Structure 1
Amino acid sequence: MPRFLANRIWSRKWFRIPLLVISLSFTPSHGLGDDLRARWGPMFPSCGGIFDLCGYSDRQTGKELIPRAFEQAMLFSEGLAAVRTNGLFGYVNTAGKVVIEPRFDLAGPFHDGFAEILVGQHTGVVAETGKVVLEPQFGRSTPIMGDVVIVRKGQYRTKRRPEMEELEPFDLLYLDYGPMGLFSLSKGWLTAYTYEFIPFDLDLRDVQRDYWL
């Protein structure tokens, strides 16, 4: 069964920009579990116990793979997962070893080797080596492709309760309103703050019509 994922970026003059408009997959359907495994890996966060700590378990069997030792645990992406220890986020690998020391107030998923991080009221970008390659200075700094990030000026705006707050990946960024610009980690500014995301109802007929027109 086809799986559709769509995002639209609009300019402030309401021209649609086909940055990442649509992704089509016509592979045989293997169920939601296989989709999750393909995107986030075989492990999922598992919390509980006397101290209500978090670790990771096998998505299919429920067997504990990484002991519950973290205050909060995010999904794996590109072999790394953000975890919170003593109030700060770092990253662990699939063996449970801390590979990026906890020093961020929030930490997002990796995409093409980069992840968004929050320090204080501003976001930046960290590489999988642990080096901060974009100092925190924006309201959002979300990796989208290669070393390109989409940034929003200003301060980070919380949307949820502190224990539920997270830095969404690009395909959920429409929940964060613009204006936004494109920034390359190696080349600098690619555009000014000229784009903003507009949420819309995903109607399969509209998606197909927009795609083929």
Structure 2
Amino acid sequence: MRPGTGSRRVAGGLTTPDGSPVEVRRSARRTRTVAAFWEDGTAVVAIPARFTAAQEREWVHRMLAKLHRQGERKAAAGRRRPATDEALAAHAAQLSAKYLGGRSTPASVRWVSNQNSRWGSATPAEGTIRLSDKLRPMPQWVIDYVLLHELAHLLVASHNAAFWKLLEAYPETQRAKAFLEGVSFATSRGLHNGDAAASPAGTGELPGDWPGDID
């Protein structure tokens, strides 16, 4: 910024939610617009030089909130679904640690394309887990439920009370079960091509051989 065009100052005591410093820049050239951006780890809010102190406070807080929302969206976009078997296994370990105390430790976790009657399956004796690749377009919270379901089977083989107790820690269990039941019901009725009942997540047409259960 050249001399005479404005001023800069660090907003004393004001930080972003993650603790980053905030700098307010007043510009004589800026007359009607306000901007916010990151620069070398500092949140910069650029405002017109004519703003009063009250206007500055209002717009700084407003633009910092906007920066925070943008950061959350970018973070969400950056969280990719586990596409490979290696990524799926790593994700399974994270879910086990978070919801099962790390007690479920599969020997292998992999996507399969030949599983047309089950969303997922597990072999406790071998410590192996398989997920149908037809889960891939579904919401991550549904995939996580199926993966946790199979992780729980490595600890409790049957669908008894102890098994379902393990899944109580996952907040989306009932929602995911209802989602998969809806998909299975719609598929069995041949509903597709945008029918609301056929695609609870707006995933589009459902092939007729989609699985209908979890082992």
TM-score for both structures, normalised by structure 2: 0.23
Structure whose residues are more often helix by fraction: 2
Structure whose residues are more often strand by fraction: 1
